[in-house]
Amino acid sequence: MILPVRIIVAVAFAAIIQVDSAKAGIVINDPVQGPVVGGTVAKKENWPWVVALLVNGSPVCNATLIAPDAVLTAELCVDRLELGELRVYRDLPGGPDAVGVSEIIVRPQPAGRSRVNVAVLKLSSKLAGPFAILSTGATDPADGILALATVYDLRDRLPATLLQVAVPVGNQARCAQQYQEIGKENICAGFIEGGADACQGSSGGPLSVHNAKGSKYQIGIVAYGRGCAKPDSFGVYARVSFFADWIKSIVPSVKFEDGTAEPTPVGR
């Protein structure tokens, strides 16, 4: 069974993490009823490209604004949905936006090849930037570099709380030992010892790193995981660079990162 994943800050890295929230120090530890095991509240204005997907008014998934009229998300978030029931929601200090979806475009792939795939949603009205910058293969980070997953807490009534979380990029070979289906289209992240994780409600959100100049760019899309906060159980993400050519063909204006990732504190 595919379980939506949200990866959250582990205690071992708390000393180097700068929390970008007035509620600094809040730790959410609710593995049974909630989506987050450890984590902090993020400032929405620091992540203006993170959006939520609403189905008949209820938040169900996360996504990333990559152009004025397009968002990027996980295929599992839009499987069997109808256009009329789907809206894209963003909540910034200037006020919330909620726009309709005019087209759902799922990347074609051979049946049964992978549990991970992506989708682009075309919007019926344009949203203002800034927009997410995406990774190319040359800018994917090395193992151990600290990455951020940033997602709405979809248990909330709107406006939902935005959470930021941090985990190191995992070793691909070790991840493949945990999940037989892992391939080039995946990127894994998490702590070997467990204890920090995210569970249901975070699929479709971005996994990001900083470049050498401190700017954020997206390397992954939250997909699934096994259990919650268990040892030897990475979170699995769609690797954005693997899908870059297809995304560019659908959204020609999308921007890609051309710098180099480096491990930096969270909260910029």
For residue 139, being part of any structural domain is answered with yes
User: Do residues 225 and 149 both lie within one domain?
Assistant: yes
User: Do residues 55 and 100 both lie within one domain?
Assistant: yes
User: Do residues 34 and 167 both lie within one domain?
Assistant: yes
pTM across the whole model: 0.85
pLDDT tens, residue by residue, 119-165:
999 999 999 999 999 998 888 888 888 888 888 888 767 788 888 77
User: Do residues 23 and 53 both lie within one domain?
Assistant: no
Could you say which of 104, 123, 142 is where a domain stops?
123
Answer whether the bond into residue 130 is a cis peptide, omega within 30°: yes
For residue 265, being part of any structural domain is answered with no
Residue 110 confidence class, pLDDT cut points 50, 70, 90: low
For residue 76, being part of any structural domain is answered with yes
User: Do residues 211 and 92 both lie within one domain?
Assistant: no
| pLDDT > 70 fraction of the chain, expressed in percent and rounded | 77
Could you say which of 123, 155, 187 is where a domain stops?
123
193 in Cβ contact with 139 (< 8 Å): no
100 in Cβ contact with 53 (< 8 Å): no
User: Do residues 114 and 146 both lie within one domain?
Assistant: no
pLDDT on residue 77: 92
Q: How far is CA 123 from the centre of its chain?
A: 19
Residue from 66, 19, 39 nearest 197 by CA = 39
For residue 251, being part of any structural domain is answered with no
Domain holding 233, by residue range, is 11-45+133-242
Asked whether the predicted pLDDT for residue 265 surpasses 70, the reply is no
Could you say which of 61, 95, 123 is where a domain stops?
123
Distance (Å, rounded) from C-alpha 268 to C-alpha 242?
27
Query: Which residues are registered as beta bridge partners of 256?
Result: 134
| CATH number of domain containing 77 | 2.40.10.10
For residue 259, being part of any structural domain is answered with no
User: Do residues 80 and 145 both lie within one domain?
Assistant: no
**Residues contacting 4, CB < 8 A, separation 6+:** 35, 61, 76, 199, 200, 201, 202, 203, 222, 223, 224
For residue 263, being part of any structural domain is answered with no
Across the range 7-21, mean pLDDT stands at 28
User: Do residues 140 and 106 both lie within one domain?
Assistant: no
Structural domain total, the chain: 2
Residue 38 confidence class, pLDDT cut points 50, 70, 90: low
pLDDT on residue 73: 97
For residue 174, being part of any structural domain is answered with yes
Across the range 43-57, mean pLDDT stands at 92
User: Do residues 231 and 114 both lie within one domain?
Assistant: no
pLDDT tens, residue by residue, 198-248:
667 788 999 999 888 788 999 999 988 887 767 888 889 999 999 999 999
If one compares 36 and 171, the residue with the highest pLDDT of the two is: 171
Distance (Å, rounded) from C-alpha 35 to C-alpha 67?
28
Kindly report the average pLDDT of the chain as a whole number: 79
pLDDT on residue 135: 93
User: Do residues 72 and 95 both lie within one domain?
Assistant: yes
For residue 3, being part of any structural domain is answered with no
User: Do residues 235 and 113 both lie within one domain?
Assistant: no
Q: Give the pairing type, strands 216-224 and 206-210.
A: antiparallel
Residue 92 confidence class, pLDDT cut points 50, 70, 90: confident
User: Do residues 220 and 158 both lie within one domain?
Assistant: yes
